[in-house]
Amino acid sequence: MGAAGREGEKKSRVSRLTSAILGLFAAPRINMREDYEKVRRAQRALSFARPDPERTFDRTVPSAEGHEVPVRVFLPKEATRSGVLLFFHGGGWTIGDVESYTSACRTMADLTGQVVVSVDYRLAPEHPYPAGLHDCLTVTEALLEGPSLADIDGPADVTLIGDSAGGNLAAAVSLALRERGRTLPGAQILLYPVTQWDHDPETSPFPSVREYGTGLRLTSIEVQDYIEMYQPDAAARTTPLISPLVADDLSGLPRTLVVTAELDLLRDEGEAFALALRAAGTPARIERIDGALHGFITLPRFARPLTAAYELVTSFLDGEMSESRVLEIPAVEPPSPPAAPGDAGAPERRTP
C-alpha cells in the first residue's frame, strides 16, 4: 500500500467528529519549545476541578535536595481495594501538574476503589533531567518505607502508575530502585508510555511513529521537542533511565501492565517494552485499546476508551496476568544509540 493509501486508512479509523476536533488543535501547531508556559496556563484553566476537601488532601515530602515535593492524595468514594496507586502524570516532562490531572485522579480513585497519590514533580525545561525523576523517586521511597502518605501493609501494596511521560518515569523509578538495591513496589502500570528516545519517522524502527505521528493527538515533532527539553544532552537520552527499552537488564522488576492506544505513535514502543520485560523474566501483561488516541486517561469517565482501560487496570490490580486477547506484535529491534558526532559514518541528526 502506498503512502496515500496508508494515510487514508489511518484517517478512516478516526471518526469525522474526532478528526474535526483534532483539526482545531492541529492548525497552527503549538511550538512547545516556545509556548510551554502558555500551554501550562491553558491546561490549568481548562481543567479546573471543584475542591473536595473530604476526599482530597495536599501533602509534601521532603527531598534530599532541600525542597519539598508536593503530592495530592485522593480517596475513593468507596474503598474496595487496599493499597495505593502512586501516580506520575504525563505531559512530556514539561507540562501537566496535580491540578490539571485532578479530575483524572479522582476518576482513577473511584473506578479502582484505591487511594491515589499524585506527584507534582518538577518540570523541564526549568528543571531538566534528572530533577523530575528524583522527585518521583523521593515520593516512592517515602511511601515504600513508611506510612507517611497512606496506610499500607508493605511495599507489595504500592503500585506505580503513569501515563505517557509519567509511564516513562514509573519504569525509570523501578529501574533506579533496583539498581540502588532498594525495596521495589508490588506492581507498575504503564499507560501509553515513552520508552525510547527516537521519534523521527526517518530513523525510528517503530511503524506506529510513521503511521500516527502526524495530525492526531500527539505528533512525533512534539515528542521530540519534549524529550530534548527534558534531556538537552543528546547522548544521554539513550541511557536506560530515559529510554528504559534499551536497558541491558530488565529482570527482577515489578509485575507490569502496559496499556497502549491503537492510534498513538507511542503504541509500538510501549508494547516492545512489555515484550522486553517478559523476555527478561519480569511478568508483563500487554493490552491495547482499539480506536483510542494518546491521552485517553484524561477523558470523561463515561468515555469508552477510559472505561475499557479501567476494566483492564482493575483486573490487573486483582492479580490477573492473562491478556484479554492475543495481539500481533511484530518483533522490532530497539534503535541503536547514534554514533558520536565526528565518528566515521555517523548519520546526520534529523528533526522530524
pLDDT digits (tens, 9 = 90+) for 183-226: 999 999 999 999 999 999 999 999 999 999 998 889 999 999 99
CA distances from 92 to 166, 269, 275 (A): 8, 16, 23
- What's the CATH code, domain 13-317? 3.40.50.1820
Q: Facing residues of 115 across strands? A: 84
The radius of gyration of the chain from alpha carbons, rounded to an integer in Å, stands at 19
pLDDT of residue 90: 98
Q: Let me know if 125 is exposed, middle or buried by CB neighbors in 10 A (0-12, 13-18, 19+).
A: middle
pLDDT of residue 64: 94
pLDDT of residue 211: 95
Catalytically annotated residues = 164, 264, 294
pLDDT of residue 28: 47
Q: Facing residues of 10 across strands? A: none
pLDDT of residue 200: 96
pLDDT of residue 341: 47
For the chain, which ranges sit under pLDDT 50?
1-12, 23-28, 341-352
In the chain, domain spans: 13-317
**Is the backbone peptide bond immediately before 28 cis, with ω within 30 degrees of 0?**
yes
Q: Cα 267 to chain center, whole Å? A: 11
For residue 295 the three cell numbers come to 491521552
pLDDT of residue 29: 61
pLDDT digits (tens, 9 = 90+) for 230-253: 999 999 999 999 999 999 999 999
pLDDT digits (tens, 9 = 90+) for 28-62: 467 888 889 888 888 888 877 888 889 999 999 99
Q: How many residues does the chain have?
A: 352
pLDDT of residue 336: 77
* DSSP letter (8 states) at residue 348: P
